[in-house]
Chain A
Amino acid sequence: MTPNVLIVAEVDSGRLSLPTVEAAGVARSLSGPDGKIVGIAGGAGAAGAAIEFGEYGIERAYAIDDPRLDGAPAQAQTAYIAAAASAVGAHLVLLGGSTAGRDLAGRVAVAWKAAAANGVTELAWAGEALRVQRPVFGGRATEARLLRGGRAVVSLRPHAFPAAAVERTTCAVERAPAASVPPALLAPRRTGVEAVPKGTGPALSDAPIVVSGGRGVRTPENFRLIEELAASLGAAVGASRAVTDAGWRPTSLQVGQTGRSVSPQLYIAVGISGAIQHLVGMMSSRVIVAINNDATASIFRVADYGIVGDLFAIVPALTAEIHRVRGI
């Protein structure tokens, strides 16, 4: 079998988003020498984003030429994606692990009569089927499923795969096959976006490194120790529920069952005891470091590396050491 893959681009400020570039890397490793990999991009900046697939060794892409899609929700592209998948003879439609990608997968699966999985951390062909693996129950278990029937729609878990290596080639961009967009999907309009404040590091759910502080930080003023450590690593700042409930930092920073689930490459928990509420939001991080003055804290049971000690001494020393090693 020589699998063909269609990658759905998400365009971020005229460029392919990081989740899309991660999807491109997965497509290249999955497709084999004879399989076709084709990109598809729609909405504002589609043609430019489609050309950018060439940066990652992808030689062919569709641009959806439909001005009605500008400002419309990504789901308005569903019929185009399904038509392109059929035109390419795709076995797999691959989406990045963004909000839009996760939202699109179920729709595209229905439109293209495919099986689907969201938030996948491993995938491999098993004959005609695609075997996918994904964490469930907040990382307390994993499930493997077979997507049968030769048609699969999959979105990836953010950061579970490295971004595609740059391998410049020329991407031939063609107009996407025609499709009929239901008017109902063009009716919703975005009326505003309040950008994540700049200068505060990457967005929590998207960051490869997260540094979180908990009750052990003791006062809202002390929380800057966490922020300085995060800044030294270019990391996003998170917080336990104790911190956001006390109003030290906004609830948008809360990691846990009632906040955000994160799965960065590196998660550093400072002054966090490790209530199950918090653990389910970060347990699927690749490497976990805990700094806490209580050697019996449950956070040390899920951490890979632990430092028992006074965070007010350890954290500034760690920030200084990181500055030294990174030369900043």
Chain B
Amino acid sequence: MEIVVCLKPVPDAETRLRPRADGSRLDPEGVKFVLAGYDESAVEQALLLREAIAGSKVHAVSFGPPRWTEEVLRAAIALGCDTATAVESAGEEAGDPIAAAEGLLGAVEGMPHDLVLLGKQAGDDEEGLVPGALAEMLGMPHFGYVVDLHWDGAAQRLRFGRSAEAGQETWESPLPCVIGLQQAWNDPRTAKLPAILKSRRAPIAKVSPPAPSPERAASVPERFALPPPRTGAKMIAYRTPEEAAQQLVRILKEEAKVFP
């Protein structure tokens, strides 16, 4: 099985978020971009499938400025991905997930792909538009919120679970297919030091993104804002637990207006 895993460089969890000078988006200056969250589950899933199906290959693809994608792709190689491809961009597409899907499309189409895996959403914007957009461009079915993915070789079907409002669904789908994975359900492995060192010298293929399609409507970032610092909780003073309970219920009813 030829598996493509699409990885978005996201700011390290320790990043101090601040807007760019024009206020329109996150300031990427000095930010360390890493492989994280949902995408780690996607890599783990790809490696599990490769281990289960003889002759499989895992191809990592990432879209963005080279400084951002290199870190992510080297991490993917250190974990065991077979090839790495960077789709180079200036990073100005932030805030337009459809443009990111277009960027990934060119690379995915240029390599064998039975199965395309992604995180169900990115760890930074948490938007979840790319799996569906990429699948529509590829003419493939897709599913987000996926856990517990297996390949049923006898039936030639993927089988997986999906957490939806009604409960835990189970699905089957033939290939090719695009899958957006839920986070952390498969306990992603960590890379070993020799593999990390070796990944520093691994080749990264580079492709240019396609020219944006002119007739498509664009999404443009306008403002990136940090919420006003929370001033801390209003503490409820009380003498007895009963009094605390009465006060809280009164506040929820009259002040916060959230009492059912």
Of the candidates B176, B184, B233, which one forms a contact with A306 in the assembled complex, judged by CB atoms under 8 Å apart? B233
Q: Which residues of B contact A205 (CB under 8 A)?
A: 165
CA distance A185 to B232 in the complex (A): 49
State the majority secondary structure of interface residues on B.
Answer: mixed
**B225 and A187 form a contact (CB under 8 A):** no
**A313 and B241 form a contact (CB under 8 A):** yes
The answer to whether A2 has its CB under 8 Å from any CB of chain B is: no
Number of A-B contacts defined by CB within 8 Å:
272
**B219 and A148 form a contact (CB under 8 A):** yes
**A137 and B220 form a contact (CB under 8 A):** no
**A195 and B166 form a contact (CB under 8 A):** yes
CA distance A314 to B224 in the complex (A): 40
The answer to whether B173 has its CB under 8 Å from any CB of chain A is: yes
**B217 and A307 form a contact (CB under 8 A):** no
Q: A143-B223, A307-B236 are contacts. A184–B139 as well, Cβ < 8 Å?
A: yes
Of the candidates A131, A184, A288, A305, which one forms a contact with B236 in the assembled complex, judged by CB atoms under 8 Å apart? A305
Closest to A313 in B: B241
CA distance A309 to B139 in the complex (A): 57
Of the candidates A138, A142, A191, A208, which one forms a contact with B170 in the assembled complex, judged by CB atoms under 8 Å apart? A191
**A190 and B166 form a contact (CB under 8 A):** no
CA distance A113 to B131 in the complex (A): 16
The answer to whether B141 has its CB under 8 Å from any CB of chain A is: yes
Number of interface residues of A (CB under 8 A): 95
Closest CB of chain B to A31's CB: distance in Å? Answer: 19
**B241 and A314 form a contact (CB under 8 A):** yes
CA distance A292 to B17 in the complex (A): 29
Q: A12-B166, A17-B165, A147-B219 are contacts. A111–B136 as well, Cβ < 8 Å?
A: yes
**B249 and A318 form a contact (CB under 8 A):** yes
The answer to whether B98 has its CB under 8 Å from any CB of chain A is: yes
Of the candidates A140, A144, A184, which one forms a contact with B226 in the assembled complex, judged by CB atoms under 8 Å apart? A140
**A102 and B128 form a contact (CB under 8 A):** yes
CA distance A321 to B240 in the complex (A): 13
B 177-211 to A, binary, CB cutoff 8 A, 1 in contact else 0: 10010011000000000000000000000000000
Q: Which residues of B contact A257 (CB under 8 A)?
A: 37
**A320 and B245 form a contact (CB under 8 A):** yes
Q: A306-B236, A307-B248 are contacts. A141–B219 as well, Cβ < 8 Å?
A: no
**A209 and B249 form a contact (CB under 8 A):** no
Interface of chain B residues 125 through 171 with chain A (CB within 8 A): 125-137, 139-145, 159, 162-171
The answer to whether A221 has its CB under 8 Å from any CB of chain B is: no
Q: Which residues of B contact A111 (CB under 8 A)?
A: 136
CA distance A304 to B235 in the complex (A): 9
**B17 and A286 form a contact (CB under 8 A):** no
Closest CB of chain B to A25's CB: distance in Å? Answer: 18
A 78-116 to B, binary, CB cutoff 8 A, 1 in contact else 0: 100000000000000000001110111111011101111
Q: A109-B133, A136-B124 are contacts. A314–B244 as well, Cβ < 8 Å?
A: yes
**B98 and A184 form a contact (CB under 8 A):** no
Interface of chain A residues 285 through 328 with chain B (CB within 8 A): 286-290, 300-310, 313-314, 316-318, 320-322, 325-326
**A113 and B241 form a contact (CB under 8 A):** no
Q: List 12 A-B contacts (CB under 8 A).
A: A12-B166, A17-B165, A114-B217, A117-B219, A118-B121, A184-B141, A187-B141, A188-B143, A192-B170, A193-B170, A287-B258, A305-B233
4 smallest CB-CB distances across A and B, nearest first, come from A149-B217, A106-B132, A306-B233, A106-B133
- B residues apposed to A, CB below 8 Å: 11, 17, 25-26, 37, 95-98, 101, 121, 124-137, 139-145, 159, 162-174, 176-177, 180, 183-184, 213, 215-227, 230, 232-236, 238, 240-242, 244-246, 248-249, 251-253, 256, 258-260
